[in-house]
Amino acid sequence: MSAPSPRAGWWARRRSRSCWRRRSSRSSAATPSPRRVATSTRSCQGCGDGHGDRGGPHVIVYLVGMPGSGKSTVGPELARRLGVPFVELDEQIERAAGVSVREIFERDGEARFRELEAAALVDAGSNDPSVISCGGGVVLEPANRVTLRATGEIVFLSVPLEVLRARVRPGADRPLIRSEGDLEKLFLDREPLYREFAAHVVDASGSAQDVAAAIEKELLRWSA
């Protein structure tokens, strides 16, 4: 009998209602990333202790990456595939603040936004398994990095600068990318940080469907 395909294995795991196992991981990308030290004790109904009924991931999957890397479009697709809710962290911040991210930046400044972002992350990270799209700057705060690592799997959506340039136009809706050159500066500052920090690095130049499939495969590979 031939060995089951990863997809078959994935469904078998889902159907048998078991959880993804945790273990050290290397990214599928060439650049190594630090090992996660996720310590969540979150439980699963599927494995007999409580989170969902579809045998999906035992953990939160955090999507990090540059503005324009596709977190908000890949996220819902990945969540659908994994059978867990999708959460947009910026929307949680807006809900809590009662105003848009742009208004928070304009009215109270970036430092205040980062405080609200950190609080929203702690809140989201204490919930059930889900896919969470994080704002591009979430990794800047050391406290956020602790929260992310402690509560989930971090996936960096890696997109080359030239692809980002085609996707992201400077403008008022992007508080930190208002002028020509802002995107490039953010990219140079942050790309190494994302790459160093995330346990999983996935090329996100393609369609949301393709990227979500690649993430699922990467997570499966890690859990196998």
Q: Does 101 bind ligand S3P (CB under 6 A)?
A: yes
Binding residue (CB under 6 A) for ligand S3P from 29, 118, 119, 176: 176
- Report, in Å, the least distance between residue 64 CB and ligand S3P: 9
Instruction: Determine the Cα–Cα distance for residues 22 and 36; give it in Å rounded to an integer.
Output: 9
Chain residues 132-171 in contact with ligand S3P, contact rule CB under 6 A = 135-137
H helices of the chain, in order, are: 6-15, 71-82, 89-97, 101-108, 110-125, 142-151, 161-167, 182-197, 208-223
Could you tell me the smallest distance in angstroms from the CB atom of residue 190 to ligand S3P?
Answer: 8
How many chain residues bind ligand S3P (CB under 6 A)? Answer: 9
Q: State phi, psi for 115 to the nearest 5 degrees.
A: -65, -45
Query: Encoding tokens for residue 46?
Result: 């599927």
Touching ligand S3P, residues 47-86 (CB under 6 A): 67, 71
Q: How far is the CB of 101 from ligand S3P (least distance, A)?
A: 5
For helices 110-125 and 89-97, give the axis angle rounded to 10 degrees.
110
Which residues lie near ligand S3P (CB under 6 A)? 67, 71, 90, 101, 135-137, 175-176
